[in-house]
């Protein structure tokens, strides 16, 4: 059971869904979630590890259980953050429209948001059933290095721009550093780093 399902009440009306592979979750993921939390005055951010991302050609390196453990470790200190395994338990390709429909049913009174980077914003028309998805959620769009924000591209889709630091961390870079025996100190939460090292992940 996620932290949110325990703490959720009628006063919590603004919830952001934050999907991704999180292989591993790193400092930039957390910075984005914090920026969205503050910028949109959210009540909660739900981290949703994907079973299989439609935007990636290869699957995650870490197991589902390991990715969940790292997310729980990374979000433990923020009461507004929670982790939900719904996409993992459902299995298959994790399409955002299916996830949004599930959480719209679970929290019918909430105002739902979807956190995404400018790189995904640029490809939004390629998302499955984007009209249905955009009817259920408002997008919180954050800057990404190399992807200028052009919100006027999709004027009919509800969205807000959220200022966030453009951090250099990426999961693939972290995995490369670990594979070559180099340090990732400061790139992930200390508890996540300890988990990675103790489980010999990405070596």
Domains of the chain: 12-167 (3.40.50.620)
CA–CA gap between residue 45 and residue 132 (Å, rounded): 21
pLDDT number for residue 56 = 72
pLDDT number for residue 149 = 66
Pairing of strands 138-142, 44-49: unpaired
Instruction: Give the helix, strand, coil percentages of the chain, each rounded to 5.
Output: 40, 20, 40
CA–CA gap between residue 179 and residue 14 (Å, rounded): 40
CA dihedral 129, 61, 71, 45 (to 10 degrees): -10
Taking the chain (203 residues) in consecutive chunks of 10 residues, what is each chunk's mean pLDDT? 48 88 96 94 97 80 97 96 97 94 96 90 86 94 72 75 81 96 96 97 94
Contact 145, 118 (CB under 8 A): no
């Amino acid at each position: 059971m996620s932290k949110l399902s325990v703490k959720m009440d009628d006063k919590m009306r603004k919830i952001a869904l934050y999907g991704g592979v999180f292989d591993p979750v790193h400092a930039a993921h957390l910075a984005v979630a914090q920026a969205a939390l503050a910028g949109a005055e959210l009540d909660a951010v739900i981290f949703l590890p994907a079973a299989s991302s439609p935007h990636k050609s290869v699957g995650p390196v870490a197991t589902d259980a390991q990715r969940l453990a790292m997310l729980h470790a990374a979000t433990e200190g923020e009461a507004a953050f929670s982790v939900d395994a719904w996409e993992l338990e459902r299995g298959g390709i994790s399409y955002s429209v299916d996830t949004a429909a599930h959480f719209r049913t679970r929290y019918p009174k909430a105002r739902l948001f979807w956190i995404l980077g400018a790189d995904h914003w640029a490809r939004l028309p390629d998302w499955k059933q984007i009209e249905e998805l955009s009817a259920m959620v408002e997008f919180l769009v954050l800057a990404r290095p190399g992807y200028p924000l052009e919100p006027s591209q999709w004027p009919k889709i509800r969205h807000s721009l959220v200022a966030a630091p453009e951090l250099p961390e990426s999961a693939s870079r972290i995995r490369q550093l670990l594979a070559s025996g180099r340090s990732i100190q400061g790139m992930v939460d200390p508890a996540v780093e300890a988990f990675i090292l103790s489980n010999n992940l990405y070596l």
